[in-house]
Structure 1
Amino acid sequence: MSDPELRRPLAELGMLRDIAVDRGRARVGIALTIVGCPAAERIASDVRAAAASVSGVDDVELEIGVMSPAERRDLTERLREGRPARQMPFGPDSLTRVIAVTSGKGGVGKSTLTANLAVALAARGLSVGLVDADVHGFSIPGLLGLVDAEGAVPQPTRLDDLMLPPIAHDVKVISIGMFLQSRAGDAPVGAVAWRGPMLHRTVTQFLTDVFFGDLDVLLLDMPPGTGDIAISVGQLLPHADVIVVTTPQSAAADVAVRSGLVARQTGQRVIGVVENMAALTLPDGTVMDLFGSGGGLRVAETLSDAAHDVPLLASVPLSPALRADADDGRPVVIAHPDDPAAQQIDALAAILAAQPRGLARRSLPFSAG
């Protein structure tokens, strides 16, 4: 039995209380982390089912309480694993691979690609986190189906000074859209009018105050262009890998190169280019290249030099299914895995999953013998 938000066993988290069995009746006590815990019903259901599955147990009596402030403090200390509060766990020594997905301009499908890539990586058994760093144009919650019929987005569960991110399709997700609700039940506020310092603080809090746990991959859906957030992420995560997204169109490709160059100036490594909205093969076999051709390869070649080999990692074709599924909050890699766009994204996930995490500038746990 594990906490669905923390993804750790209840016993390890100190959430199990007294357990006793008397004449076929099991009495189990559990302590939720906070009052009004959004996972309370699921935890209670899982505990009942686990207790009922024990041989000789005919009935289950569940006692539900809440952790004391001291118990919560102890839990947060254990979750931090010795790190001080407000310290980012994704520094150069972290074994989590950080990948920023960026683009030169908006409208190239970067967020849709990032959301599907995260789900495809999680489907391959990786532990994946996703930061929606596109603060002004946040769309990740909607793309992953985290928006309900009234337009509300679930907020992270607060555990003292830690935030537990909502999970969609086994991806832990954080977005500014989860906080922009004036009161319970209201639809999210439609716009964010923030400038540099506030944007930097927001990204910093996403990376320090959100408890993602042990991740294999942390994806960042970056805003288009080379503005404040790109600079902040470059300062906070200079060891991050970068994927540049473009369309085949020359105008998009020329601008996409700039985002790769700026990332490289901060020390980040451009690991490849993804061409989105590539040619679509129609049912009669004809090919429709609505946005032209060659843009992705041109960006890859421009960013490559003697010191940097930047490959074209994927060419994702135009896809009605990808568009429709995105509008419905369903990742196409799950809803229509046989779609050509879904297959290209899954192939991209396979490439990234197979790549070893770089150890440059990371401390390794070796000592002289």
Structure 2
Amino acid sequence: MQFIFNLFRLIRDFPLNDFSVYMDGVKHTLTDNPYTLKFFDYYNYPPAATLFFYPFTLSPIDTAETIFTIISLSSLFLSLFLLYKITHSKFSPYWLVPITYLLFRFAPTRLTLTLGQINLVVLLLILLAFYWRKSWLGGISLGLAFILKFTPAFLLLFFILKKQWRVIIGFLYTVILLHFLAILVFGWDLTFYYYTQVLPRLLSQTGFYTMQRTYMNQSLTAFLGRLGIFDTYHAIVKLILVLPLVWFTARKKLDFATYSLFLIIMTVFIPTFAWQHHYVFLIPAIFILSLRHWALGISAYVLLTFTIGPSFPGYPNPLIHSHLFLSSLLVLFLGSRYYPNHKSIRGVP
């Protein structure tokens, strides 16, 4: 409770920097082109995502920040509840109280909340996609997650392999409908500009300046950049590393434990940028490891919490600068090697 109190006091005294980018982006979407401007940072979300952020601009900024934070906290609670339900966990529900506390203290969670990031909402939608995997609702959830963060599109591979076509069709309908609504509200030109100018620029940022400019980027791309591998060579090496990893993971039994491994690949290996707050998407993998043995879960938690804070901007060692990425590799290995014994997890249809 102390953390929640401090969080709302922080909202009162300081702006949520990333949330302020959402608000500025929406306001300029209504009047001009937000993609040609820089606020606290660049607004890199498609017009379809602006539909989600727009209602927050109708309130004073302090009120909007409070509402958004409550939504994020609720998403975290619901995500934990879904993890408990999906895995058919045998431990007492009372254990959810200390687990909730640990998740509040989890460094990526704290960073997500204090910046005003959308990650916890996306995490909830991703878990709902699995929970509703036999209905259209799963596709709608995954489609909404994709609109807010493009990386969940990688999870389509999981549902394709499982031949759960309702999820795929629901995803496509949701994405098409939201883009159509965005075109009606904001105009065709803005959507066209985003997909022909903004998105290609984001995907092509694999040069020296982009890949080495910040310690906060803990992706495979950033790790390769710290090793001096850029541009075309980077693309080749990344394919050599990622394709076998995806193939190996996809060969496992397609249950929730494997789904959690897909989340690690989605977060760390696929995108150009994996900011430290994105590591909230590894929470399901930590939860699964805890079901195998509490020591595995605690080890993963400690690796991803107590290695995220210290920064060594003046230290040239790429291993130190990429310590969180390397920790995620270990979590991926542990998740691949130590599956839970629960048949309800491993055999979930």
- Per the normalisation by structure 1, the TM-score is 0.28
Structure 1 or 2: more strand by fraction? 1
- Per the normalisation by structure 2, the TM-score is 0.29
Structure 1 or 2: more helix by fraction? 2
Q: Say which one has the larger Rg.
A: 1
